[in-house]
Amino acid sequence: MTDSSEPAEPSEFPDRTNRDTSRTPAENAQLALLLEVAGTPKPGNVDREHEYPDLRFEHFLAGAVGAREGLAMAEAGEPVGEAFERAVRGMATQRGGNTHFGALLLLAPLVRAAAAEDLTSGGVAAVVASTTVEDASDFYRAFEHVDVAVADPPEGWGDLDVRRGERAIPTLRERDLTLQDVMESSAERDGVAREWVARFERSFRLADRLAALEGSVTERAARAYLEALAAEPDTFVAINHDVETAHEVTDRAAAVLSGEESVEEFAEELIEREINPGTTADITAAGLFVALERGLEI
């Protein structure tokens, strides 16, 4: 994990606080999901040129469209957990299964902060800190809609394994756990939860990187994704395979950036091995949203 004490790179955006008003935050969130999957190549993930037999480009397009109502709820100031659960329910109406669960978990509080005109680390941290037990309950309900690969729960959290879905809600209420509490319990093993705890540091850094890069937005997204993959092992890979594989993928991504490996061959190999760095893709979508809100032009 990046040391949060390190200063962030200077933003290339002229003004961090003045958002582009040509689209609403919910529209920018939906656009970020579409731009993320359109960027290519993104080794191991679905894009315009790479698919899995049962998880295709079209599923991601449909998932982004289905998430629209939940994103609009976050923009309108509805509870983050409720907005997230509704976004996941809409996303899950396509036949591919889980296309955006982690990305939506990042986008819900970011959209809420943007709508409040405080899309900053502090602004989104305040949204996270305001979450309630009911937000946590809605988070668990979201697991009823789609299968999600997750790490085993920490010691003492067996009754709160997210794979139990709604059955865990009475325990949540009994222990008075908010959604922030749930994310803190998972942060060591899950990169999306870690973003919640670390004030969305990687998402904001990736947004700055998108602004600094040249080319089309989809080209920038693919490059920023690869750089993020090379910077930190992907926790989704670690969960689905093992920690050693996650580190291998990070090292290989660094080799691609240095010109030692072909990005296309790397992308094809990860698809063949069914190695999907999904957490890095989720953070790329979140970074795209922040960049769009700050005025990144399409």
197-231 pLDDT, tens digit per residue, is 999 999 999 999 999 999 999 999 999 999 999 99
Task: State how far the Cα of 298 lies from the Cα of 35, in Å rounded to an integer.
Answer: 10
- Report d(CA 186, CA 205) in Å as an integer: 22
Neighbouring residues of 174: CB distance < 8 A, sequence distance ≥ 6: none
pLDDT of residue 222: 98
Q: Pull the structure tokens for residue 120.
A: 């900053």
φ, ψ for residue 55 (rounded to 5)? Answer: -140, 105
Please report the pLDDT score of residue 26 as a whole number: 98
List the one residue out of 191, 57, 79 whose CA is nearest residue 136: 79
CA distance 210 to 149: 28
At residue 189, the pLDDT reads 94
What number of other Cβ atoms are within 10 A of residue 185's Cβ?
18
Q: How far apart are the C-alpha atoms of 86 and 82, rounded to whole Å?
A: 6
224 in a structural domain: yes
Residue 63 placed within a domain: yes
Residue 163, domain extent:
25-293
Within a domain: 10: no
How confident is the model over 6-36, as pLDDT tens digits?
334 444 443 444 555 789 999 999 999 999 9
Q: Is residue 17 part of a domain?
A: no
Domain holding 222: CATH number? 1.10.4200.10
- 18 lies in some domain: no
Report helix, strand or coil for 8. coil
- 13 within domain boundaries: no
Closest to 29 in 3D by CA, of 148, 119, 129: 119
Helix (H) or strand (E) holding 221: helix 217-231
> What's the pLDDT score for residue 155?
87
Residue 5 included in any domain:
no
- Amino acid at residue number 27: E
Give me the residue label for tokens 């698809």: 271
55 bridge partner residues: 52
The verdict on residue 249 lying in a domain is yes
Domain count across the chain:
1
Per-residue pLDDT of the chain (298 residues; tens, 9 = 90+): 334 333 344 444 434 445 557 899 999 999 999 999 999 999 999 999 999 999 999 999 999 999 999 999 999 999 999 999 999 999 999 999 999 999 999 999 999 999 999 999 999 999 999 999 999 999 999 999 999 999 899 888 999 999 999 999 999 999 999 999 999 999 999 999 999 999 999 999 999 999 999 999 999 999 999 999 999 999 999 999 999 999 999 999 999 999 999 999 999 999 999 999 999 999 999 999 999 999 999 9
Sign of CA dihedral 130, 197, 278, 293: positive
